[in-house]
Amino acid sequence: MSLFPFSEELVAERLRFENPWWVSGEVEQYYTDMSPRLYKELFYPLVVDLTVRRAVILMGPRRVGKTVMLFHTVQGLLEEGHDPQKIAFISIETPVYTNASLEQLFTLCRKTTGKEEPKGWFVFFDEIQYLKDWERHLKSLVDSYPGVRFIVSGSAAAALRLKSTESGAGRFTEFLLPPLTFNEYIHLLDLKMLLRPSRLEWGAGATGFYDALDTGKLNEHFLNYINFGGYPEVIFSKSIQSDPGRYIRSDIIDKVLLRDLPSLYGIKDVQELNSLFSMIAWNSGQEFSLEELSKRSGGVDKNTLKRYIEYLDAAFLIRKVHRTDNNAKRFKRVTHFKIYLTNPSLRSALFAPISMSDDHIGAIVETAVLSQWMHRDWIQPLYARWPRGEVDLIGLDQRTFKPLWAVEIKWSNRYFERPAELKSLLSFCAANNLEQAVVTTIDKQGIKECQGIKLTYIPAAVYTYVVGKNTLVQKEMRIGQRIV
């Protein structure tokens, strides 16, 4: 008797369809023609490192290219000479797989290919959230088949992370694929000719900057990135860009807020959650407190707001940035914080694309910069605020909690000509013995000294590119150290 709700042959036929390399030895050209995301270079080593007996969980927001990355990973395995009939891709949302367990599907793959020995296999389960109790199934597979690498992906990010943390200790390795960085946008559209290494250096030469060879053209693409650049599919499609709300809001935002299991976080009023997210999106980069959020949202209970923010954070839609003061002191009781969208194009989708002269452009440029820093899970950037001043972005030494660097994010050339007007930044640097700081501009670049502080000016687009590029380099080093 078949273990499947449909005939076993029907299921096997679907498996053959999803795995054309079982016959051809190749991934479909539709996927091989696509440029891989740069994050693939970080993900692939985790898949092929068989010294660690864990399943790899690829998670992230909707439409950031997780499925395409899985196919590019399959392509890499084939190019390295792995047996094509021991590589299986299974999309769990496919109707003929309904109610089938992961082990049943893996068993049928072995039976269909004739490769019965459960060793040397790479098994990819896409959209794993469609299987009830997937984490229990996956943990059992990891324990039962030590010679097999299991890789799963899912878009219900909040639920996926929660269940992975609860059930996968010691069995799962999580990998977050975020929205596109500006560096990846430049890479995918093959625009690297717009930049070249700069003589400017930061942090005693630890970080090299870039010169924009055509700042006007780079800023045009930076604005396009801000409005549409978070998702690979969108940057290549003019039709989607003409109506981003229809694509991003309905296919990405609404499904996260309405379908991706907000009940896990005790959320019953989805409309209330939706309203809160819209308000945050419009005000991305502003400082909030639970007291203020409660008033703005019509008196929603503070504990309820905490759950909403926790869910939106777990769903990779927003990030909180905590506050310190001009002496970088840590507050015992955190009452104020900033909230940023993890991807500035979410705002454009909810409301309308923004222009370079829009009143909100400064806050959205700040959101774009912070969205690159959010990819560094080993750093928690802060902002400093005190009664007479504010600095947009600071980094603390994790041992001494002393400031290491400071950045003022501006979409203006004014402060290049008038550095003395950067009173808050200069005051913060003096109070914390910082000898240098970074200031972003529209298109001015150079170094000036003011009140004994070296100010490195760099166009915001270039700085955003640099943060994303260096993040990937540092992530690659960290993954390499972990594997070695």
Three-state DSSP at 340 gives strand
CATH fold of 8-177 reads Rossmann fold (3.40.50)
Domain(s) labelled CATH 3.40.50.300 in the chain stretch across 8-177
Q: Are 455 and 441 in contact (CB under 8 A)?
A: no
pLDDT, residue 18, reads: 97
pLDDT of residue 262: 65
In the beta sheet, which residues pair with residue 122?
87, 149
How many Å apart are CA 126 and CA 151, to the nearest integer? 8
3: burial class by Cβ within 10 Å (0-12, 13-18, 19+)?
middle
Residue 243 neighbours by CB under 8 Å, 6+ apart? none
In angstroms, the CA 336 to CA 453 distance is: 29
What is the reported pTM?
Answer: 0.91
pLDDT in the model for residue 438? 96
| pLDDT of amino acid 484 | 47
Cα dihedral 323, 329, 330, 332 in deg (nearest 10): -110
| Residue 457 near residue 473, CB atoms below 8 Å | no
Tell me, what DSSP letter sits at residue 36?
A: P
The Cα 124–Cα 55 span in angstroms is 10
Residue length of the chain = 484
Give the pLDDT confidence score for residue 116 in this predicted structure: 94
What pLDDT is recorded for position 168?
Answer: 52
How confident is the model at residue 204, as a pLDDT? 46
**Phi then psi dihedrals of residue 478, to 5 deg:** -65, -40
What residues of the chain score a pLDDT lower than 50?
Answer: 1, 204-205, 484
SS3 category, 219: helix
| H/E element, 153 | strand 149-154
